Amino acid sequence: EVQLVESGGDLVQPGGSLRLSCAASGFTFGAYWMAWLRQAPGKGLEFVAQINQDGSEKYSLDSVKGRFTISRDNAKNSLYLQMNSLRVEDTALYYCARDEGRSFPYWGRGTLVSVSS
């Protein structure tokens, strides 16, 4: 069974940093693109960043470029999102998802990031 478990969310002040992690199991992690998506409270879904199988290709939302960095460790079956210079508008539930066939068939339960002073 495919499982994706996010962690690392927290309450942080504007300008602060957080590192999100996603532990994957139940599939060959290194064979798939992976992605981070987010959902602000009461709002819709937004694609944040994606990374290819060996980490050589990365793409991210314009509003997070230069602030967020996606990475992975295939030996640890883990996906990461380093978030710097956080803004109030980054407040959201952050989901890890398997990016397959230009879609997301598997999602984690999410980890909550709150940016507030």
Partner 1 sequence: DVVLTQSPLSLPVTLGQPASISCRSTQSLVHSDGNTYLGWLQQRPGQSPRRLIYKVSNRDSGVPDRFSGSGAGTDFTLKISRVEAEDVGVYYCMQGTNWRTFGQGTKVEIK
Own/partner contacts of 33-36, CB < 8 Å, gap of 24 or more, are 33/98, 33/99, 33/100, 34/70, 34/72, 34/79, 34/96, 34/97, 34/98, 34/99, 35/96, 35/97, 35/98, 35/99, 35/104, 36/70, 36/79, 36/81, 36/94, 36/95, 36/96, 36/97
Q: Provide the minimum distance between the beta carbon of 103 and partner 1 in the complex, in angstroms, as a whole number.
A: 5
Q: Provide the minimum distance between the beta carbon of 102 and partner 1 in the complex, in angstroms, as a whole number.
A: 3
Chain residues 82-101 in contact with partner 1, contact rule CB under 8 A: 95, 101
Q: Provide the minimum distance between the beta carbon of 112 and partner 1 in the complex, in angstroms, as a whole number.
A: 13
Convert residues 38-67 into a mask of x (bound to partner 1 by CB under 8 A) and - (unbound).
------xxxx--x--------x--------
Judged by the rule CB under 8 A, the positions of this chain that interact with partner 1 are: 35, 44-47, 50, 59, 95, 101-105, 107-110
